[in-house]
Amino acid sequence: MLQHYLSAADLSHTAAETLLQRAQELKAEWRNGSHRPGSNGELPLQGKTLALVFEKPSLRTRVAFEAGMVQLGGHGSYLSANDIDMGGRESIPDVARNLSRWIQVIAARVFKHATVETLARYATVPVINALSDREHPCQALADMLTLQEQHGKLSGLRLAFVGDGNNVCHSLLLLGARLGVNVAVACPPDYRPNPEILELAERYAAEHGATMTVTASPAEAVDSADAVYTDVWASMGQEHEAARRRLIFQPYQVNSTLMALAKPDALVMHCLPVHRGEEITADVIEGSQSVVFEQAENRLHVQKALILTLLNL
């Protein structure tokens, strides 16, 4: 049974497949304008509240969680850094223990991964990592759902991630490995993924017949790829590094020249927000192969499926 979702590694192969299947069903219901009520005639999250504890601003994560709760009969309560000041006015354990008395799920978007781990340690309700410096596991779920929808499968696909070996990259490695996706990461030598995460992903990949590759060559990673993924070069909290990173990452821009090395129908992926003209050119992200807004929509559906799974509903 899934108690918390702090890392993409928290899902087994079977659990990940089951969650994605449920997300597809929820998406179909949403597209049809309906949701199946429970045996008591109520929507499944009737009377339930999700606390959104956010140290960082958000568009997709906040709206997808809040809208998902409403669509399933529940409510989202947004708490910004100004409302709580975790570690300052309120200790993290006290935040967790207070919220657990009032609400049914906590989604935390934080700077340090240790924060979500501490919340989970002291909370008596499920905790979801809505983004930390180590991982972005909800995004990876949306990405895998998008790949599955577009290609009709996941096992055996080649996903190239070009840019910084960051939190998004980490979750893609872990979840991709669990689901049999071959993940190739191209990044500058000093910006490789966390070695511990890479080692864990390689272990999962061996179990599911996939490969994990890290290279300094974008061309090598993108060669024959079914999808090419990139992210901003400087994430929130790294703004002071932005100018230096632009110089280092310039050879890792996803543009039409690089995309020509992938399969002709390769998908273009990005978790957003995007800096057009930096990590990716406008013509590529706006082109017919781009599925970035499908990824964004799928955040809604996988997060609904995740909440229902955590609450055993």
DSSP string, 134-179: S--HHHHHHHHHHHHHHHS--TT-EEEEES---HHHHHHHHHHHHT
Q: Is 10 considered catalytic here? A: no
Rounded Cα gap, residues 82 and 51, in angstroms? 15
pLDDT over 70 percentage in the chain: 98
- Structural domains of the chain, with CATH: 8-135+299-310 (3.40.50.1370), 139-295 (3.40.50.1370)
Residue 136 annotated in active site = yes
Which of the following is catalytic: 134, 136, 245, 301? 136
Residues 6+ apart with CB under 8 A from 81: 54, 55
Report DSSP letters for 104-137, one per residue: SEEEEE-S-HHHHHHHHHH-SS-EEEEE-SS--H
Catalytic residue among 138, 169, 187, 271: 271
In the beta sheet, which residues pair with residue 127?
106
Q: How many angstroms separate the CA atoms of 30 and 142, rounded? A: 16
Contact 217, 189 (CB under 8 A): no
For 183-200, the pLDDT digits (tens) are: 999 999 999 999 999 999
CB atoms within 10 A of CB 252: 21
Predicted TM-score (pTM) of this structure:
0.96
Lookup result for tokens 């002071």: 240
* Pick from 150, 143, 151, 149: nearest CA to 178: 143
Q: Report d(CA 43, CA 37) in Å as an integer.
A: 4
Compute the distance between CA of residue 81 and CA of residue 59 in angstroms, rounded to an integer. 16
Tens digits of residue pLDDT in 154-176: 999 999 999 999 999 999 999 99
**CA–CA gap between residue 233 and residue 93 (Å, rounded):** 33
Per-residue pLDDT, 237: 67
Q: Give the active site residue among 62, 109, 158, 245.
A: 109
Confidence of residue 205 (pLDDT cuts 50, 70, 90): very high
Residues 6+ apart with CB under 8 A from 1: 312
pLDDT digits (tens, 9 = 90+) for 268-279: 999 999 999 999
Catalytic residue among 138, 226, 231, 295: 231
Per-residue pLDDT, averaged over 141-147, amounts to: 98
> What are the backbone dihedrals phi and psi of residue 186, each rounded to the nearest 5 degrees, phi first?
-115, 120
